[in-house]
Amino acid sequence: MSHIHPTLRRDGDQVIILDQTRLPHEEHYLRLDSLDDAATAIRDMQVRGAPLIGAAAAFGVALALRHDPSDTMLRQADCTLRQTRPTAVNLHWALDRMLATLAPLPTVVRSRAAWTEAEAIRCADLAANAAIGEHGLGLLRQLALSTQGPLQIMTHCNAGWLATCGHGTALAPIYAAHAAGLDVHVWVSETRPRNQGLLTAWELSRSGVPHTLVADNAAGWLMASGRVDCLIVGADRIAANGDTANKVGTYLKALAARAHGLPFYVAAPRSTIDPACPDGAAIPIEERDADEVRLLTGLAADGSLTRMRLAAAASAVCNPAFDVTPAGLLTGIICESGVLVPDALASLAVS
């Protein structure tokens, strides 16, 4: 798709990322030169989205080993990057893969191998995104047979090309449907407090996919009004029983979807499935800085980026970044292997 630009790519012995903290107002690229640069980019959400976080961590290891491929630096890089964000299992999956590949190797070949493995992780995510898009397209084609007018799809947060190394997870079927000529319209919730829904709207606008931005609290009303045909969201971790962690607010949408008999799909690569995590209660939920709720970033009258205060500095704030949707509320999980029912995950080997 011509509208897609790499969110992360190697440039010599450095890595270039799209700084997502400045979207949708500014498209700005950053050059990462060190382990600390990579860790900061993940922690501060300059890169975000579970698959992209995993790839960024892999490249962070490669950056760390450029000048010091020792066992000590490998362990330091692994530890530093694991501590950046707790909920997205793709980060730990990618680091496990890097460690398993690199630890047995002589230090003389370790740096080159790190770059090769990081690139393999990036390419694997791109391929997984394409497969998710094709499997999801089949579902959307079937749903469109029973609708009049555009197929009305609701999503939450951003799970498109900004959050991955390819076409996205939840947005991949939508992009595939649009490319195939299917008449679709997307309801995009703003996703407070970080407003990742604005990134989804920015993406869809660039691709020409019809969409409408709505306040998070409008989602239930839209479903009750018969203006939604299905919901597709991404995931940051899927437990062995199918319980799914995604951006906070997902659970409320799943409850409303169940109340109105609407299909609710999670789209994610198999690397997001955590077989070591038995259920949603075992998923660590990241709590972020209170000022993400108290303050709002936007454009001032002169076009400059500015932060505005919404709540008093002393206001008590609870700011969970994710919530957990029970497996029983999911219609299916769209991954690169196909469309799975949640209770089939226990026997699925994640490679």
Whether 8-125 and 133-347 share one fold: the answer is no
- Domain 133-347 is found in CATH 3.10.20.90: no
Residues labelled catalytic? 236
pLDDT digits (tens, 9 = 90+) for 30-55: 999 999 999 999 999 999 998 999 99
pLDDT of residue 351: 43
- Decide the pairing of beta strands 237-239 and 273-274: parallel
Q: CA 90 to CA 70: how far, in whole Å?
A: 25
The SS3 assignment for 102 reads helix
Q: Which of 207, 202, 175, 183 is nearest to 191 (CA)?
A: 202
350 pLDDT exceeds 50?
Answer: no
pLDDT digits (tens, 9 = 90+) for 216-268: 999 999 999 999 999 999 999 999 999 999 999 999 999 999 999 999 999 99
Domain boundaries, the chain: 8-125, 133-347
| Helix 50-64 / helix 107-144 crossing angle, nearest 10 deg | 170
pTM of the model: 0.92
User: Which CATH number describes the domain made up of 8-125?
Assistant: 1.20.120.420
Q: CA 313 to CA 51: how far, in whole Å?
A: 34
Q: Which of 45, 43, 1, 49 is nearest to 19 (CA)?
A: 45
1 pLDDT exceeds 70?
Answer: no
pLDDT digits (tens, 9 = 90+) for 133-155: 999 999 999 999 999 899 999 99
Q: CA 180 to CA 251: how far, in whole Å?
A: 31
